[in-house]
Structure 1
Amino acid sequence: MELTFLPGEKTAKRIYRHFSINTTVAAEQPTTSNNAANKLEFFYIGKKAANIDSLIRTFESGYAAESVSNARSMLKRLLQNSKNIFIPDVIILEVNASTDFRELQQFLATDTLLQGVPVVAEVSGLTEADIKRCKDCRFIDEILVLNEQNRSALIRKIGFLKKVKQQFLVEKNFTLEKSLQAYKDRPTVIKRGFDIVVSSSILLALSPVMLLVMAAIRMESKGPIFYISKRAGRGYKIFNFFKFRTMEVGADKKVAAMSHLNQYDAVQEGPVFFKVDNDPRITKVGNFLRKTSLDELPQLVNVLIGDMSLVGNRPLPLYEAASLTTDQWAKRFMAPAGITGLWQVKKRGKKDMSVAERIELDIDYADRYSFLYDMWIMANTPAALMQSSNA
C-alpha cells in the first residue's frame, strides 16, 4: 500500500511523522462495511520500526514519535491546528524497562480531548516485573504485544476501548480515575481460583457423559463433534469458543435466510442478536443437548484456560459484538465472559425478551459483579437449565 510521509523538522534522530494511505490506491479496494469501520488513526510512541510498519498496515493513518517528549510537542501542535485538529483514536506506548509513565500521564491529563483517548502499552520482550509495572499504572487501558494481534482483532479492540473510555468521560456516574483500570482492579483471585477448581472437577466427573454425547453426535450426522467459533468476551478479547455441535453442518450460512424468524426485535440500526424458536437447523441429538444444556459442557475448557468464567456475560459472536460497541452498550464487555449469568437466570427461555432488556441485564452485572453475587447467580441457575425452549 502506497504511503505518504509528511515533512517534519530536521532532528539528529529519525522521528516518524504522519503516515496516510494514498487515496488513489485506496479507491481501488472494494468497499465493505469492514473497511468503513477500520477508519481509525493511531499515535505511536517508540522506536521499533516493525511496530510502526504493522500499524500502518492496520490503520488508515497515524503519527509516530520516538519519545514522550517528542510526542508531547507533536500533539500540542496538532491540537492547536485551527484548520484540522488531530485527535488520535489510540495512543500506543512502546514500553521498556526505563519508561517513565508520569510524563505522558501528566500531559494527557491536561487536555480534555486527550483524556478520552485510550492508552495501550506495547510490552513485547518485557519481563513479568515490567509488565506488572504497566498493570499498576492506572492511565493505561490495555496491555498487548502488537505482533501477536491480527488486524481485525486489533481494530475491534481499539474501537471498543475508544467507546468505553469516552463513555466514562461523559457519564456523570464515572470519573477519569474510575477508568477501565478500576474494573481490572476488581478482586479476581477468589473468582479465578473457584473457576479452576470447579471446572476441572466437573470435567473429570462428567467425562463419561461427555464421551457418550460425543458418540451420539457422531452416530447421528457427519461433521465435527465440537462447534468452535470466534467469540468476544471481556475487554473484547476474541477467543475460540467450544460447544458440542447441535446443528447441521453449515448452519451459520443460513442465518441471513432465516432472519424473518428471529426471536429478537428486527432493527435496522443498533444491537443485533439472532435467535430462533424451534430452529429447524437443530438435530435431534442437538435438541436434547440444548434442553438439558449438555451442549454447554465443553465451555468448561474455556473456563479452565481462562477465556471465560463460570459466571459472567455471555461471550458474543463477532457480528453481534460489533453492534454493541456504541456508547450506551459497550460497558457490558467490562464483565468477564461466563457460562451462566444474570440474563440466563432472569430471562432464559422467555419469548418476550427484547434486545434492550438483555443488554441492560448484562450492564447491570458488569456494574455489580462480585464473588458473592456470582454465588447467588449459580444458586439460581439449576432452575434455568431445564428450559422449555430449545432456541
Structure 2
Amino acid sequence: MVGQFQPKLPENMPYAKILLVNNVAGAEKVINELKRLYHRLPAAIIFRVGNGFETGLSQWAEYFTLLPAMKTVPFFLVTDKVTDRVRSLKKEFPFVDDVITRGMLNDISGKIEFVAKFKNMQEVQPARQTPVLPVSAQKSKWKGNLLKRTFDIVASACLLLIASPVMLLIAIAIKLESKGNVFYASPRAGKNYKIFKFYKFRTMVADADKQLSKLQHLNQYSGDGKGAVFYKVSNDPRVTRLGSFLRNTSLDEIPQLFNVLKGDMSLVGNRPLPLYEAATLTTDEWAERFIAPAGITGLWQISKRGKKEMSAEERIELDINYAHRNSFAYDMWLIMNTPKALIQKDNV
C-alpha cells in the first residue's frame, strides 16, 4: 500500500506529507508526482515491515544510490514489534534512521523534524570538514574506539554487579517513600542525535513531567526561548526527600550503567539531552556537540556541575570542546577527576 499519512503536528510546524509505503515502485511514482507538481520531496518515508521487506530495503538502497538528493528525507521502518532482527537492519541499511511501532505514528512529527534537520546539516557541511585522516591516524582512532567500548562493557558490567545490593536498597526505599515506578525512563538524544530510552532512579513525584510548565520561572538557565534551551531548577519542589539525597550523591544515575552496557552511552561523553532540549541545538554552531558519544560523566560534569552561574552557551562550549578532544586517554583523565564532582555544591 502506498498512501499519505498526516501525523499530529505542533501548531508551529507546517503541514507535512508523510509517505507511508510497503511498495517501492508505488512510492517512486508518488515522489515523482510530488516533485513534478509541487517541486518538493516528502517530509519523510515510512516503510512497513512485512513479507519481503528486506528485498524492498535493497530496492530502496538502489533507489537512493541513483537519487542521492533523496538521502536527506527521513526514513523509518514501522513494525508491530521491534525485534533484534529489525534493529540490525539499521546497520545493514544506513539510510534507515530509526525503527518505530505503529503506536508512535501519531506523535512522530518531532522525530521527523529532528532527523530532517540533522540530515540536511550533514549535507551542507562536507566542505567544512577536516581532511581525511591518514591511514595511521585512522587505525589509531579505530583502536581508541575499540578500547573505549571494551572498557565501557567491562567496567559497566563490574559496576552493576558491585552496585546491585545498593540498587536493591534504593528501589525499596523509593517504593516506600512515594507511589510510582522505581525507575524513570525517558527518550534522550545521544551521538548523532540517536534517540534511546534513558534510565535513572526516580527522584521526583510521579507526575513531575506534567508540572514542568508551572516551574519555568525557576529555570536557572536564562533565555528568551529563541536559542538553546536547557532546564534545571535549584531546589526543585518536585524532588522527593530521598530523591534529593540520590541526586546530591549521584546514586540516581547508577541505572545508566545499563545504557552503557547496551551501547546507547559511554562512561564518558556529553550528557544525552531530552528531545525538547536537543531540538534547539541543530544549528551548525551547536550541533557539533552531538559528534561525541553520550556519557554518564564528562567535561561539563567535572568543571561546572552544580554551579548556578552556568549559562547554556557555556555548557554547549564545554560539550563541543570535549567532542573535538575526546580520546581514550582523555576519558581516563576525566574519570579520575569525576569523584570530586559527585558531591554537588548546590541542590540542582
Q: TM-score band (shorter)? A: 0.7 to 0.9
User: How many residue pairs align between the two structures?
Assistant: 332
C-alpha contact 2:31 2:41 (8 A) present in aligned 1: no
Look up the equivalent residue of 2:104 and give its one-letter code: N
Q: Say whether the 8 Å CA contact 1:88–1:117 is kept in structure 2.
A: no
Q: Quick one: distance in 1 between partners of 2:267 and 2:254?
A: 11
The C-alpha deviation readout for 1:29-72, integer Å capped at 9, x for no partner, is xxx8625437444567x7x25xxxxxxxxxxxxxx6348xx56x
Equivalent residue runs for 1:170-181 within 5 Å:
170-171=124-125, 172-174=127-129
Q: In structure 2, what is the Cα distance between the partners aligned to 1:160 and 1:332?
A: 15
240, 243, 258: which one pairs with 1:283? 240
The residue aligned with 2:112 is 158
What pairs up with 1:312-351 in 2 under 5 angstroms? 312-351=269-308
Q: Which moved more, 1:142-151 or 1:293-302?
A: 142-151
Residue 312 (structure 1) shift: 2.1
Question: 2:13 — aligned with what?
Answer: 37
Equivalent positions of 1:242-261 (< 5 A) are 242-261=199-218
Tell me: CA distance 1:367–1:107, structure 2 relative to 1, closer, same or farther (3 Å): farther
- Deviation for aligned residue 1:198: 0.9
Instruction: Please give the secondary structure, in 2, of the residue aligned with 1:37.
Output: coil
Residue type of the alignment partner of 1:292: T
* Residues 1:375 and 2:332 aligned together: yes
Q: Normalization by structure 1: what TM-score?
A: 0.68
The 8 Å contact of residues 220 and 231 in structure 2, kept in 1 or not, is answered as yes
User: SS of 1:243's equivalent?
Assistant: strand
What does residue 346 of structure 2 align with? 389
Which stretch of the first structure deviates more once superposed, 322-331 or 373-382? Answer: 322-331
In structure 2, what is the equivalent of residue 107 of structure 1?
A: 66
8 Å Cα contact 1:38/1:155 also seen in 2: no
Question: Would you identify which runs of 4 or more consecutive aligned residues in structure 1 move more than 6 Å?
Answer: 123-128
For 1:329 and 1:43, locate their aligned partners in 2 and report how far apart those are by CA, in whole Å. Answer: 30
Q: Does 1:88 align with 2:45?
A: no
Tell me if structure 1 keeps the 8 A contact 2:9–2:15. Answer: no
Match of 1:213 in 2: 170
C-alpha distance in 1 between matches for 2:57 and 2:208: 52
Q: Give the 3-state SS of the residue equivalent to 1:142 in structure 2.
A: coil
Structure 1 residue 117: Cα displacement: 1.4
Amino acid at match of 2:41: I
Aligned residue type for 1:250: D
Asked if 1:65 is matched to 2:37, the reply is no
Q: Which region of structure 1 is more displaced relative to structure 2, 286-295 or 116-125?
A: 116-125
2-structure distance, mates of 1:264, 1:295: 22
User: % of aligned pairs identical?
Assistant: 46
**Alignment partners' CA distance in 1, 2:160 and 2:84:** 34
- Aligned partners of 1:141, 1:331: CA distance in 2, in Å? 21
> 1:126: Cα distance to partner?
12
Q: TM-score scaled to structure 2, two decimals?
A: 0.76
Any gaps of 5 or more consecutive residues in structure 1? Answer: 1-14, 27-31, 50-63
Distance 2:306 2:177 in 1: 26
**Structure 1 residue identity aligned to 2:120:** Q
Which of the pair has the greater relative contact order for Cα pairs under 8 Å at 6+ separation?
A: 2
CA contact (8 A) 1:264 1:354 kept: yes
Residue 230 (structure 1) aligns with: 187
Deviations 1:292-311 (A, max 9, x none): 11111121122223332212
Structure 2: how far apart are the matches of 1:199 and 1:227?
19
Show structure 2 runs of 5+ residues with no match.
Answer: 48-52
